[in-house]
A and B are shown apart, each in its own frame.
Chain A
Amino acid sequence: MSLLALSGIGKQFGGLHALSEVSLHIERGEIYGLIGPNGAGKTTLFNVITGLYQPNAGEFRFNGCSYQAAKPHVLAAAGIARTFQNIRLFANLTALENVMIGRHVRTQAGVFGALLRNKAVRLEERACRARAHELLRYVGIEKPSQTLAKNLSYGEQRRLEIARALATEPLLLALDEPAAGMNATETEALKALLQGIRKTGVTVLLIEHDVKLIMGLCDRVAVLDYGRKIAEGVPEQVRNNPAVIAAYLGADDE
Chain B
Amino acid sequence: MKNFKFSKRGLLFFLMFVAVLALPFITDALLGRGWVRIVDFAMLYIMLALGLNIVVGYAGLLDLGYIAFFAVGAYCYALTGSPHLALAFPQLFPDGVHLSFWIVLPMAAMLAGGMGVLLGAPTLRLRGDYLAIVTLGFGEIIRIFMNNLNAPVNLTNGPQGISRIDPVRIAGVSLNTTQSVFGITLPSVHLYFYLFLGFAALVAFVSHRLEKSRIGRAWMAIREDEIAASAMGINTRNLKLLAFAMGAMFGGVSGTLFAGFQGFVSPESFSLMESVMVLCMVVLGGMGHIYGVILGGLMLALLPEMLRHSVVPLQQAMFGKVIIDPESLRMLLFGIALIVVMLYRPAGLWPSPVRRRELASDEAAERV
Contact = CB atoms under 8 A, between A and B. Distances in A.
Interface of A: 50-52, 71-73, 76-77, 81-82, 84, 88-94, 97, 100-102, 104-105, 107, 109-111, 113-115, 117, 121, 124-125, 128, 146, 148, 150-151, 164-165, 168
Contact of A148 (B206, B228, B229, B354): B354
B228 A84 contact: yes
B357 A148 contact: yes
A121 B213 CA distance: 9
A90 B224 contact: yes
B224 A93 contact: yes
List of 9 A-B pairs having minimum Cβ-Cβ separation, nearest first: A105-B233, A76-B233, A114-B213, A90-B224, A88-B228, A72-B230, A101-B221, A109-B214, A73-B235
Interface string B345-362: 000000000110110010
B215 interface: yes
A249 B221 CA distance: 42
Contacts of A115: 206, 209-210
Contacts of B232: 73, 76, 81, 101-102, 104-105, 164-165, 168
B234 A101 contact: yes
A120 to B, nearest CB: 12
Interface of B: 206, 209-210, 212-218, 220-221, 224-225, 227-236, 242, 246, 354-355, 357-358, 361
Contacts of A52: 227, 231
Most B CB within 10 A of own CB, among A72, A88, A94, A148: A72
A151 B209 contact: no
A52 B228 CA distance: 10
How would you classify the secondary structure of chain B's contact residues: helix, strand, loop or mixed? Answer: helix
A247 to B, nearest CB: 29
A104 B214 contact: yes
Contacts of A165: 232
14 contacts: A73-B231, A73-B234, A73-B236, A81-B232, A89-B228, A92-B358, A93-B220, A93-B224, A97-B220, A101-B234, A104-B214, A104-B233, A111-B215, A125-B214
A111 B242 contact: yes
Contacts, number: 113
Nearest to B347: A92
Nearest to A77: B233
A12 B213 CA distance: 40
B234 A105 contact: yes
Contacts of A113: 213-214
Contacts of A88: 225, 227-228
Nearest to A107: B214
Given A73-B234, A100-B217, A168-B232, A148 B358 contact: yes
B217 A151 contact: no
A114 B354 CA distance: 21
Contacts of A104: 214, 217-218, 221, 232-234
A90 B354 CA distance: 13
Contacts of B217: 93, 97, 100-101, 104
A46 B196 CA distance: 53
Most A CB within 10 A of own CB, among B227, B233, B242: B233
Nearest to A99: B232
A168 B221 contact: no
A113 B206 CA distance: 11
A42 B234 CA distance: 25
Given A92-B354, A104-B214, 4 more contacts: A52-B231, A92-B355, A125-B214, A165-B232
A146 B358 CA distance: 11
A148 B360 CA distance: 12
Contacts of A94: 354
Contacts of B236: 73
A102 to B, nearest CB: 5
B220 A90 contact: yes
A71 B230 contact: yes
Most B CB within 10 A of own CB, among A102, A104, A121: A104
A232 to B, nearest CB: 26
A117 B209 contact: yes
Given A90-B220, A109-B213, A114-B210, A101 B354 contact: no
Contacts of B357: 146, 148
A90 B228 contact: yes
A94 B220 CA distance: 11
B233 A90 contact: no
A111 B220 CA distance: 15
B215 A110 contact: yes
B233 A114 contact: no
Most B CB within 10 A of own CB, among A51, A52, A89, A97: A97
A194 to B, nearest CB: 19
